[in-house]
Amino acid sequence: MPRNEEGEFELVLGNRQLLSVFFIVVVLLGVFFVMGYILGKNSSPATPEVASARKATDTSPAPSPIIIDKSAGKSSAAGEPVVVKPVPVEKEKPVEKAPEPKKAEPKPAPVPAASSKSGEPPKGSLFLQVAAVGRAEADVVAKVLKGKGFDIWIAPTEKDNIFRVLVGPIQKSEQGKTRGELDALGFKPFPRSY
C-alpha cells in the first residue's frame, strides 16, 4: 500500500466499492427502521381502561388541600397567627363495570315423538333410504334416527339378512328439508318410492 510522507495510508475506492458501501448502509438503515416500527407497534400506549384500573389500584393517599384560617387565635407582635387546617378529601371509588348481560341460550326445539316400524312399507309412499345393512346395524341406525325425531321404517330386501332403513313416509314438499337434516347428521339419503 502506498504511504505518504506522514505515514498515512491512502485508500482509493472505485465506483463499484462506493456503490457497495452505499447499498450496505441503505440495507442496514432499512433493517433498523423495520425493527423500530415493529417495536413501536407492539408497545402501544395503555388504553383508558388499563389506565383507570391502574388508578383504582393505586393506594397512595392524595395530598389534601390546606386552608389557612386567619380568624383563629390572637394577634402577636409578629403579626396575626396563622392556623393551618387540613381538609379531608374523599378517595375516589374505583369505577365498577356493569355486569355483562347473559346471552339467552337458545332452547332446543322439542323433538316430536317418532315411531319405528318393520315390514313392507305401504304402497304409494315416499321414503328416504339412509342405509341397507344387517338387522343389528339397522336397529342401531333406526334407534339413532328415532332419537333425532325421525319416523323410521325397517324394510326387508330381496337378500336375506339385509334390511333398508327408511325415513318416512314423507311428502314431496318435505323431501328437501328432511334430506338436508339427514345430510347434516352424516347420512347420504336418497329417495325411494314404494
Per-residue pLDDT at 185 exceeds 50 = yes
Say if residues 156 and 163 touch (Cβ distance below 8 Å): yes
Domain assignments of the chain as residue spans, ordered by start: 116-193
For the segment 155-181, the average pLDDT, to the nearest whole number, is 84
pLDDT at 150: 84
Band (34; pLDDT cuts 50, 70, 90): very high
Band (5; pLDDT cuts 50, 70, 90): confident
pLDDT at 141: 86
pLDDT at 169: 82
Residue 143 makes CB contacts below 8 A (sequence gap 6+) with 116
Q: What is the pLDDT of residues 60-74, one digit of tens each?
A: 555 555 555 555 555
Q: What is the pLDDT of residues 132-152, one digit of tens each?
A: 888 888 888 888 888 888 888
Q: What percent of the chain has pLDDT over 70?
A: 60
The 8 Å CB, 24+ separation contacts for 132-135 are: 132/157, 132/162, 132/163, 132/164, 132/165, 133/162, 133/163, 133/165, 134/161, 134/162, 134/163, 135/161, 135/163
Q: What is the pLDDT of residues 98-137, one digit of tens each?
A: 666 666 666 555 544 566 677 777 788 888 888 888 888 8
Query: The domain at 116-193 falls in which architecture?
Result: 2-Layer Sandwich (3.30)
For the segment 163-184, the average pLDDT, to the nearest whole number, is 85
pTM as predicted? 0.40
Beta-bridge partners for 86: 66
